[in-house]
Every structure is written in structure tokens, then in C-alpha cells.
Structure 1
């Protein structure tokens, strides 16, 4: 680490928004993860561009994290600059269009849509990620996904250039997108919704919230659904049928409430999580000859 880099970053963003050797477990839903060399929270698109350009010009690795909901950061932490856009969280409507900055929680976007009598985002009322993360993963739940309602996204390319990309250019697939393949950063997303009745929208959101709270282990820290749905199967059922509910390594446990979740039941490390994920994959492969692919993003150093 370099005090010069630290000083340079403090000239780009407010000094209070740059930290050195910052523990990342403070920013992940699992409450695990090592330290970031430099941790920055820009408050404007211009600051984001300047950080991008600085990292590129100085050959410093730059890692973007959302709100850490569907992510495991390894115990060795992350070298270089870690940037989060959680300060960029404003949203506004224009007729039936809802534009949201990428640092906002997708849950908050669904509630804002409700307040403005707009229907289409109800499925997202229980997804814990940021809007940027939701686009990155083409997040979905209860029969809906981001690609159903997205119009376009304002992005930054690896060179720091601003571009608006239409939904059709984003290669949105099952838990995948162009963002996961290229160095593109979402700054804001515009959703195309429809006018609806407030009570109808709220009723649907209340029902989905009840389903989520009754089925998911929200009482413990977790990274959400760990595995993608394998073709022709459900990951949670395969894990349950493998007799793995309650299986624990260190402080990480396969949830007894929903087998598709791995929860932190007490001082788990990222290594505990990764070892348990590998154990689950190996067991399911052995019993059912099905490869479980992780949905959660795993980054950082051992």
C-alpha cells in the first residue's frame, strides 16, 4: 500500500470517503471478508469516472462491490482499490419510467414504484441487492426478473467513458449479463413500468414478503441463494435430499429452514463458507450426479 495513492484518492473524493486497510466484513451480508487496501465511496458520477481513470493510469486493480448481499469476499481481502456506489442512491419517475442510481437497494426501488402507483417491480420487493448488483446478476424472484422491466442502463466503460446501453445490448440471461463478462459499471438503470392501483401493488408485495419471510432464514447473516438452479432441478431440494441441512463447518451452516442458503451462525469466516460450499457441491455430485454452480460472487485473495 502507498500513502501517495491514499493521498491521491483523497483529492478525488472527500477525505472521509477514502479508507485504507478497511475491513470488508463491515460491508457484506455474511459478515465475513478480509481487508481492502483502499476503500472509496464516491458521491458523484464525476468522482466515479475520476477513480476509474486514476486506477487505469496507475495500473491499480479496481474492484466494484454493491451492497455485499450476494457476495463472499475471501479472508485475504482485496488488493488495490475497492469502490462501492452506496452513496449514489437517488431515484425519480418520468411517467411510467423509473430511473434509479445503481447504489440504491432494489427493494427501495420497488417501494418507490409502489409510492408512485407503478407496477412491474413487485417481484424485487424481497431481493436484498443493490440496483447495480441486480443488473449484474439479472436478479429475479417469484417469476419476475430484471430483464422483464429494464429499459436501459447508463454505464462507465473501462476507459471511463459514459454510455447508455439498451436492454438488448446487455446480454441478460439467467443470473448473468454483459456486466459479468466485461469491465462495465452500472451508474443508473431505467425501468419501464405500468400504471397500477396502489392497493393491488401493495397486496402483491405483502404476499411476496410473507412468502420470503416464512421460507428464508432471514434471522441469520447470509449471502442469499448460494447456487444457481440446475436444469431440471432445484438446488435447495437436491441439498435437502442429500441430508445436508444443518451441516456445519466452522460458523457456516446449511440452513435448516431453506437448504439453498448458507448462514453465519457464529463467527464464520469466508473460508468456512467456501469449504462448506465445496462440501455441498461434492456431496450433491456424488449422490445425484448434478453439478451445482455458485450464484454467489466469490472474490478476493485466500
Structure 2
């Protein structure tokens, strides 16, 4: 069945990059996860649209994969099609608007803005995700959020219909680590960021400060999925985990970071199963100690091994 699907997709577009039973751990920041039945890395909007339409028409599960920075793929992998969008990474600008394709790293977009002396994306200089991921979860840091500068998005629906979303629609559907795009399960193709002119030196100084804070406080020396939990109302996750005595707690090869308790790091060939067990343990301890139910910020997908 998988071979038949792969053959039909290749016949539709012989330029399509397609692999069968592709390991997914190289594509995630945690360096964990099983295999994809079918792995496709498109280069154009037309290729994405044709695959999405095919999957919908044939009722084949489809999962979109970007930079894999805020994601845990279970060890059993992904059934159906994984659509890997990181080859679509062009960044351009016109006047005060930067247009970036879905696979462009949001860090690179912030640097592009700096280089053309435009302010507004400095907060994103340390966010490791793609543009598509940033829109999907309304990524933010240092007091800024993606919705603050997002002016337009070109997306695909689950049935393969192209839609253009304006600033008003996008902003109305966005909140902390949440977006209309995520609610509707839209596939981001490109985004417009509306910025303002400013001194390149001032922008660079702000980004340097944010980068120093990030490097000082976050365990960047190990694979991780970033901040694991959403911030509950009136609380900070890291201090709660630290006060509960969980910093350094390890299951398998995955550890609650000794540098920042809000992170879980892969210190010794950890698996997605290790991550899941550690997340569940931290949630249980925090619930018992503080009566706070921690909600994962990281997206968890795929099959159990």
C-alpha cells in the first residue's frame, strides 16, 4: 500500500523528493522519534498543494513537519505522509514588508530584518522554529509575539484550498501560544511581516542582549524541545519544578535540565518514550505539590512503539 501511494505521488510529479520509511529523529531538536511511512520534501506551493489534495482525496493521514524544534515524535513514528517544508525557505522584502516562506527559520528572518534596518522581529532572534511553526503557535519571547508583526499569511486548508488571511483575521484568532492557524489546522506556505525602520546598530544591540540572555540561561549544549510546558496563570514553571526538587531528575536518557528547569534535555541517547515518562512525572509531582496542572507547550505526535 505504501509503495502504491509513493508510486502514484511520484507519477503526479517526478521532481518530488520522496522517501519510504524515513527515520525522523534527524529532523527534530530532541533527536528522537520513529520513522515516517512516506516522507516528502516539496520545493513549491504547487507540490505541497498536490500532495495535500491527494492525501485528502485518498483519506491518507498527513502531518506537516517544519524545524522540529517544539515537537516530540513518538518512537513508533508517523503513519501516512510526512510533509517536510524546510526546503521552502526564501526570504524577500518590499518596502517595510518582509515575505518569508514557511520553511525559513524565524531566526533568519529576524536577522534579515536587522540587516535591512527594520525593527519588530528582535524577539525572534533566539526562537529555533520555522516561520510556519512560529505562526502555528504564535511563538514569542522577550515580550514580543509573532502576531504583533504578522500582516498576512498564505495557507492551505486540509482539503488543499489556498487561502489568504489578513492581519485582522490573524490577530483576532491569536493569543498566548495559540493561533487561528493551529485551530483550523492550516498549512502555512508564506507570511508577511510588517516592520518599521530603525537604526541597524540599535536593532543589533537588542538582539545581542537577547542572545546573551538565552545562551546564559538555556541549555543549548544538549538536544531539547525548548520550553516544555505553557506558563500557568500567576505561576512560573521553572521555579516550581526547581522548588519541587525535580531539577536534574532523569528518566532513561532524558533529564530535567540543571541549567533551566523548564527544559528537558537529551543527555544520553534518550527516546521519545523517556520524554513522555519524564513529562508525566513532572506533571504529577507539580499537581500534588502545587495543585497546578501543567499543560505541555511542546507538540506530541506519532505512534507508540
Pairwise same-fold verdict (TM > 0.5): yes
2: CA distance, partners of 1:119 / 1:11 = 45
In the alignment, structure 1 segments of 5+ residues that lack a partner are none
Offset of residue 14 of structure 1: 4.8
Distance in 2, matches of 1:139 and 1:49, equals 25
Deviation at 1:121, TM superposition (A): 0.2
Aligned to 1:19: 19
Is 1:209 the counterpart of 2:211? The answer is yes
Q: Paired residue for 1:229?
A: 231
Q: Displacement, 1:16?
A: 6.8
Partner of 1:34: 34
Q: What are the equivalent positions in structure 2 for 1:250-269 lying under 5 Å apart?
A: 250-269=252-271
For residues 265-284 of structure 1, the aligned pairs below 5 Å read 265-284=267-286
Deviates more, 1:5-14 or 1:92-101: 5-14
Deviations 1:186-206 (A, max 9, x none): 100101100011111000000
SS in 2 for 1:224: strand
Q: 1:294 aligns with which of 293, 296, 305?
A: 296
Matched residue count: 302
Q: How does 1:171-190 map to 2 (within 5 A)?
A: 171-190=173-192
1:74 equivalent to 2:74? Answer: yes
Relative to 1, partners in 2 of residues 1:26 and 1:12: Cα closer, same or farther, differing over 3 Å? farther
- Bigger mean CA deviation after superposition, 4-13 or 178-187: 4-13
- Residues 12 and 51 of structure 1 are in contact (CA less than 8 Å); yes or no, is this contact kept in structure 2? no
Deviations 1:43-67 (A, max 9, x none): 0000000001110111111101111
Residues in 1 aligned to 2:11 and 2:98: alpha-carbon distance in whole angstroms: 33
Cα displacement string for residues 104-147 of structure 1 (whole angstroms, at most 9, x for unaligned residues): 10000000101111100000000000000000010000010101
Q: Which residue of 2 aligns with 1:152?
A: 152
Residue matched to 1:140:
140
* Distance in structure 2 (CA, Å) of the matches to 1:94 and 1:104: 17
Q: Show the counterpart of 1:10.
A: 10
Match status 1:120 vs 2:120:
yes
Q: TM (normalized to structure 2)? A: 0.97
Where does the alignment leave 5 or more consecutive residues of structure 2 unmatched? none
